[in-house]
Amino acid sequence: MNCSGCSPIYPIEDQGTLYLRPFSPMLLEALQTQGMSIEHSDHYIWVHFDNLDMLQSELEKIGRLDSSVLEAISFQVRAMQEQADQEDWISLGLLENRFKHADMVSIILEKKFSSHMQPIVDASQQIIGYEFLLRPAENGRTFNAYELFEIARDTGLHSFLDRTARISAIETSSVFLPQGIKRFVNFLPSSIYNPEYCLTHTFEVIERLGLDPKDFVFEVVETEPIKHMDALQHIFQVYRNHGMSVALDDVGAGFSTIELMNRLEPDFVKIDRSLIDHCDDDPVKQQKIIHIVEMSRRFGGQVLAEGVERIEEFDFCRSAGIELAQGYYFGKPSAQPPTYSN
């Protein structure tokens, strides 16, 4: 299985070459029948394009081929004068999606985003850490982070985006935060098929910058059910083996169920904002929150309330035994945190 975040990935340029593999006389004849001006070697077939409209036209011609032929072909787009390599071969569907979402793909590939920080406080409202959230780069094109990750998934770039977003958060933390302040960094478990390999870049950056692994908390963010529990538990163990903590996000809503929490036993349990919203006057929510707190105590997980916007919500959370909180009441995500003095 390919880890697309661990290999070179190239954007679609205005001029370049579209490569197809594997070569076969049947494929060659089929493309020529479509009126394409092509070249080939023993391994590849390729066609040059002078602009994106021409590339779109060539893709439409290829799309007319029999489906059984298309399923056996993989594609690669390279800039002019660059040869095809062994990495980043993708299906026609992924290539068409990259073309369709070219502007958003350029944000991903050219890393036109930044990491903003939202404070996390303890029961006395002292800042103990920050969660790092993906936001548009200064003066860059605006985007919704959820939409960006969905497009990354549709274009085969979600592992690449997940990795580069983690690295951006780590690098940003090294600039603004002193040792001892927690750094909560999101990750997509579906983007990490081999944690010993795919997380190498993450651990190398932390070591290179001289940061303390104990300051990092990597939290699961997933928009689909966890299908491979053993794999996620393995990822947790790899993080912990490197001296880091792990967190489960959005507990009590969506796919982050209490059952999942009990099986994973994360170091930090983040209660979803939907349960925190007006929890002070909702007995049903209060019982759910108290249940999560009690379950977390069984395995020693620290509970964090997300989305706190009112003092009344914070007061109830503290009375329920919740130790940490995060939300607009304490501060919105910002490119720079408060200044720290050594």
The model's pTM is 0.87
Give first-to-last CA distance, the chain, whole Å: 46
Q: Cα–Cα distance between 187 and 199 in angstroms, integer?
A: 10
| Token couple for 123 | 């029961």
pLDDT for the residue numbered 11: 64
Tell me how many degrees the CA angle 35-29-94 measures, rounded to the nearest 5. 75
pLDDT for the residue numbered 229: 85
The helix/strand/coil state of 182 is strand
Contacts of 234 (CB under 8 A, 6+ apart): 195
Say whether pLDDT at 243 is over 90: yes
The phi and psi torsions of 283 (rounded to 5 degrees) equal -60, -35
- Are 167 and 200 contacting, i.e. CB atoms less than 8 angstroms apart? no
Q: Cα–Cα distance between 231 and 198 in angstroms, integer?
A: 13
Say whether pLDDT at 263 is over 80: yes
pLDDT for the residue numbered 1: 37
pLDDT for the residue numbered 5: 41
Say whether pLDDT at 39 is over 90: yes
| Token couple for 222 | 């997933």
Strand ranges across the sheet with 16-21 = 39-40, 45-49, 16-21, 74-79
Give the residue from 166, 160, 155, 190 showing the smallest Cα distance to 9. Answer: 160
pLDDT for the residue numbered 43: 93
Say whether pLDDT at 236 is over 90: yes
Span 90-143, pLDDT tens digits? 999 999 998 889 899 999 999 999 999 999 999 999 999 999 999 999 888 999
pLDDT for the residue numbered 7: 44
- Are 23 and 41 contacting, i.e. CB atoms less than 8 angstroms apart? yes
Q: Cα–Cα distance between 223 and 269 in angstroms, integer?
A: 17
Q: Cα–Cα distance between 96 and 261 in angstroms, integer?
A: 38
The helix/strand/coil state of 117 is strand
